[in-house]
Amino acid sequence: MQTPTTLREIKELKEKLARIIGDMLTSEEKEEALRDHHARRPPRPCGMTIHTGIGCTLRCTYCYIEDMGFPWSAKPYPLNGRQLVYALLKNPSFIPGRNGTLIAIGSVTEPFLPETKEKTIEYIENIAEYLGNPIQFSTKMPLTRSDAERIARADPGISPLITIITVEHHRNLEPYAPPPELRFKTIAVLAEKRLKPILFYRPIIPGIAEKEYQYILEEAKRHGAIGVVAGTLRVTPRIIEKLKENDIPIEEIIKRLPRKPKPREQVPVYTRDIKEKILSYARKIGLIAFPEACMANLYTHGYTCWKMINLGVTSKNMPPEKNLERIREDLVLNGFKVLSAKWENNYRVRLTLSQRHRRYKSLIEEYIRCKYKLCIKTFYK
Ligand code: SF4
């Protein structure tokens, strides 16, 4: 489904779709969907994270979900597929369609656990059927040929991220997750079904990643990965303790921490230098290097953003022309007063709008991000 080009048309389309989906739901189902956080939470710059389960049984040592209040057990998310779509359509900042909000599955649970897998596929199928937004998932679980076929039938451009961050230390870092060999095999299965699997090198664990990344990238490539997304480790005091308990060398992590985290606070560990090494080695061996997961989602769906162009990565469709005046006029036509517009760099625009539009902040940002494929920051005064 094409994304309309004005905010008014987007609103009309959302209302029309919500009526159609709403007619398929009972009033209790609609109410439950409306109470759900998917109907309210603003998308993040990387897209809208979709929860397909509550909790996770894999208990990765570096995982922060316990600090966020999630349990180490898993159950499928309570909404059914149509309720989830309904909730998204009722979310004021969500933009439906192929050029709409990016969908990211797998942030606070493993989406292909026995407990969550059917729900995940149901969500993928429903989002693809009724909305058409670009979907991405990340997983450590093995996927079968028939899983891959079902997923590819729903969204042939889907962006699969397969997490492998260590081979040597996986028993200590991911004690209950399937071994990396099975995940390399999943890459091969997805590639065989003409999907575009991407290695997910996140979190980068300083002290371990430096010794292993070359092997992991080479193996991923050999099994059919087209690229790599690399990302940072975030730690809480509990995670640091857990890493110590599991015999993970933490000196390098501590050295790179900008400050001591407060209880439950997630603090990113400095890994930019290691990330650069990973991405540069990826390029050297013919993998596409994605510094952010959203770029991988755009890429596999045939889209290109201006940050990708800046990095020399392009997919089938190029973004609209980069023109500040056009963006300003577009927002004015949509009823917003733009006080100033300027480039922060080659791919990020900085807009200042009238204070009275502040409550539309996430919608405005999402609209510009989706339509012009630009990063954006907005300010209000
Ligand atoms: S699989 Fe993901 S959500 Fe589950 S414990 Fe590991 S990092 Fe956390």
DSSP codes of every residue in 221-289:
HHTT--EEEE---EE-HHHHHHHHHTT---HHHHHH-SSPPPTT--EEPP-HHHHHHHHHHHHHTT-EE
| Band of residue 313 on the pLDDT scale cut at 50, 70, 90 | very high
Single-letter residue type at 47: G
pLDDT in tens, 274-310: 999 999 999 999 999 999 999 999 999 999 999 999 9
Residue 371 CA: distances (Å) to CA of 208, 306, 324, 351:
40, 12, 13, 15
Burial-class residue 23 by CB neighbours within 10 Å (0-12, 13-18, 19+): exposed
The confidence score (pLDDT) of residue 5 equals 85
What is the enclosing helix (H) or strand (E) of 183? helix 180-192
- Give the nearest ligand 1 atom to 140 CA: 1
pLDDT in tens, 53-74: 999 999 999 999 999 999 999 9
Q: Domain 138-233+271-319 class? A: alpha beta
| Band of residue 269 on the pLDDT scale cut at 50, 70, 90 | very high
170 has pLDDT over 90? yes
265 has pLDDT over 90? yes
Residue nearest to atom 1 of ligand 1 (CA): 110
The confidence score (pLDDT) of residue 244 equals 96
The confidence score (pLDDT) of residue 66 equals 96
Domain spans of the chain? 1-133, 138-233+271-319, 324-380
CA nearest 216: which of 169, 178, 175, 250? 169
pTM for the predicted model, two decimal places: 0.96
1 has pLDDT over 90? no
**Which residue, chain included where needed, has tokens 């008014």?**
8
What separation in Å is there between the alpha carbon of 132 and the centre of ligand 1?
Answer: 27
**Average pLDDT value for residue range 210-214:** 98
Question: Rounded to the nearest 5°, which phi and psi values hold at 14?
Answer: -60, -40
What separation in Å is there between the alpha carbon of 284 and the centre of ligand 1?
Answer: 30
